[in-house]
Amino acid sequence: MKVVKFGGSSLATGPQLEKAINIVTADADRRIMVVSAPGKRQSGDTKVTDLLSKLADAVVDGTDTEPVTEEILSRYVDIARYFGVPTDIIDRLRRHLGDMAARNYPTTDYLYAAFMAQGEFMNAQLVAEVMAHQDINARFVGPRDLGITVTGEPRAATVTDDSYARIAQFELHPDEIIVVPGFFAYDKDGNIATFARGGSDITGSILARGFNVDLYENFTDVSSVYAVDPHIVKHPRAIRTLTYREMRELAYSGFSVFNDEAIIPVIQAGIRVNVKNTNDPEARGTFIAPTKDVNHHHHITGVAANRNFVGLYLHRYLINTQVGFTLHLLQILRKYNVSYEHMPSGIDDLTLIIDKGQLSPDKKRGITADIKAEIAPDQLDWFDDFAVLMIVGEGLYAQNDLLARIMVSLADAGIAPTMINQGASRISIMLGVPAEQADDAVRAVYELSCTHHSEVTQANKQQVSLD
């Protein structure tokens, strides 16, 4: 059995959905279909999830909700019309959105989560109806029916561990396909919470583990995961196989093609993921697996840059001798419900690298004031123009001269890294670079990786012939 997830780009229009349905019905093992909300039809278009966020803004601000509601519904009308499905489903969805606005939510964040989840909820309803209209044995099944529960932040929820046993109990009727909305589930109080953005990948992964499937196929709009974001380098090298931990590091650092948290449930169950293209379903795509062919171990697999960080630099003499200094600092962060991503340090210096999304101006002011009052650093600076460059590959640590070559490539491109972190993760090298040079840095390291790739391939061939 397979889980098949389709991203928003694969479901943006009637013709795209038609391709997705053909893919599902072409293989009898494809029994669990996870759908995102309709995405961008072309560049510059707006995803339904972002329109729903606007609708939530209007509800919160008490402004007119009708224009954006109609814009959202028009996306579903177009798809329904393409398949000749009676449009009474749209009236149902309109009433549903109206009901949502009339409900009470524990906090504004829960309200946003509930609205943004509707893109997937409504799409799964429509897709199931379109498939039934085509005499395909398909039905809508929601996260509640499957027993998926979540905990944590309403817009960055995590699945509870007991969900998996409930999913395993779910009874799939013989030969039927279930259509499941991605991206959201309910918490123990029955409130809707979403995963982080791009989180339909996570739903697919949770179901892959819960049903213990043979393969999780993740359909998108590219034929491979590439060694670098194709927006930065044209026609980059395709990656045939990625290990779980390579994908996790690259997804975390900017490979938006697969959500970084989505890798966790499949790792726990040892299930392979196949990233494939809805527009070219015969192409092999990229496999994400526990291990890969040893011949590929010494390559730079991929390079990414993440600009979603801010740095907090602290200087105070004798930090190294002060017992509990870092504990105190982290207690201040905890008070503001902020976690940190990385913490490079020196004898008298420490930098905290924090996800931008976690810091409102108020929190930043509060953290600054508390640190000054309680820790009294000699120097405290925030810097926003910071990007983390991640160079990833299994076995990179065994390449003695690689860091030197990377530094030379960056220097040739006029880039001076402000931070180096190698060793904590044995499969990646992390460099801090100025945000405005992040793309240039990715290009420089990618070019080096192409030379490196062919050298290693050559060496492997020689090794094989010597063996």
Ligand X SMILES: Nc1ncnc2c1ncn2[C@@H]1O[C@H](COP(=O)(O)OP(=O)(O)O)[C@@H](O)[C@H]1O
Alpha-carbon dihedral angle through residues 57, 62, 63, 64, given to the nearest 10 degrees:
100
* 47 contributes a contact to ligand PHD by CB under 6 A: yes
Select the span of 196-204, 293-301, 397-405, 417-425 touching ligand PHD (CB under 6 A).
196-204
Q: Which of left, alpha, beta for 258 (phi over 0: left; psi -120 to 50: alpha)? A: beta
Exposure string over 223-259, b if 16+ CB within 10 A, otherwise e: bbbbbbbeebbeebbebebbbbbbbbbbbbbbbebbb
Rounded to whole angstroms, the Cα distance separating 220 from 224 reads: 9
Residue 36 or 437: the one with the smaller Cβ distance to ligand PHD is 36
Select the span of 180-188, 225-233, 431-439, 448-456 touching ligand X (CB under 6 A).
225-233
* 229 contributes a contact to ligand X by CB under 6 A: yes
Select the span of 25-33, 98-106, 216-224, 334-342 touching ligand X (CB under 6 A).
216-224
Rounded to whole angstroms, the Cα distance separating 444 from 32 reads: 41
Cα–Cα nearest to 371, from 345, 327, 332: 332
- Residue 391, CB half-sphere, CA atoms under 13 Å: how many? 33
Residue 49 touches which member of ligand PHD, ligand X, none, C-beta under 5-8 Å by kind: ligand PHD
What minimum distance in Å lies between the beta carbon of 220 and ligand PHD?
A: 8
Residue 80 or 275: the one with the smaller Cβ distance to ligand X is 275
* 256 contributes a contact to ligand X by CB under 6 A: yes
- Residue 295 has phi, psi (to 5 degrees) of -65, -20
* 39 contributes a contact to ligand PHD by CB under 6 A: yes
Q: How many residues bind ligand PHD (CB under 6 A)?
A: 15
x/- letters, 197..226, toward ligand PHD (CB under 6 A): xxxxx-------------------------
Residue 36 or 277: the one with the smaller Cβ distance to ligand PHD is 36
Rounded to whole angstroms, the Cα distance separating 140 from 136 reads: 12
Residue 72 belongs to what H/E stretch? helix 66-82
Among 221, 348, 355, 439, binds ligand X (CB under 6 A): 221
Residue 127 or 353: the one with the smaller Cβ distance to ligand PHD is 127
* 449 contributes a contact to ligand X by CB under 6 A: no
Among 2, 8, 16, 309, binds ligand PHD (CB under 6 A): 8
Q: Which residue pairs, CB below 8 angstroms and at least 24 apart, start in 87-91?
A: 89/125, 89/126, 89/129
- Residue 35 has phi, psi (to 5 degrees) of -120, 145
Residues that bind ligand X in the complex, under the rule CB under 6 A: 7-10, 36, 39, 198, 220-222, 225-226, 228-231, 255-257
Residues that bind ligand PHD in the complex, under the rule CB under 6 A: 7-8, 36-37, 39, 47, 49, 119, 182-183, 197-201
